[in-house]
Amino acid sequence: MVLADKAYSSRAIRGHLRRRGIRAVIPQPADQAANRKRLGRLGGRPPAFDREAYKQRNTVERCINRLKQWRGLATRYDKTATIYLAGLHIAAIFIWSAR
């Protein structure tokens, strides 16, 4: 499942995900909905949208934003993936323990 915002609601992106068997949870922008309604029957039906799954996107984004407050993670100072992962774990431990 891909959770994305309205900016990624193009026909090409949805088609690409559909061909790969990936479920897209992307809200439809107002202008796309208006164009679809203007076309009537030819506009097709609106894409499926799961509100409960979309709420998880907010949780993930907030977590990533908290992690990016650590300058070493945000700017990627570490040269090796192992050191970067260790920094990620330390940041996660600090964030989790601060709750």
pTM to 2 decimal places: 0.61
Domain range holding 13? 1-54
Mean pLDDT confidence for 30-46: 86
Q: Please tell me the total count of domains within the chain.
A: 2
Measured between alpha carbons, how far is 47 from 24 in angstroms, rounded to an integer? 9
Helix, strand, coil percent content, the chain, rounded in steps of 5: 65, 5, 30
Same domain, yes or no: 1 and 39: yes
Q: 59 lies in a domain?
A: no
* 33 pLDDT more than 80: yes
Q: 63 lies in a domain?
A: no
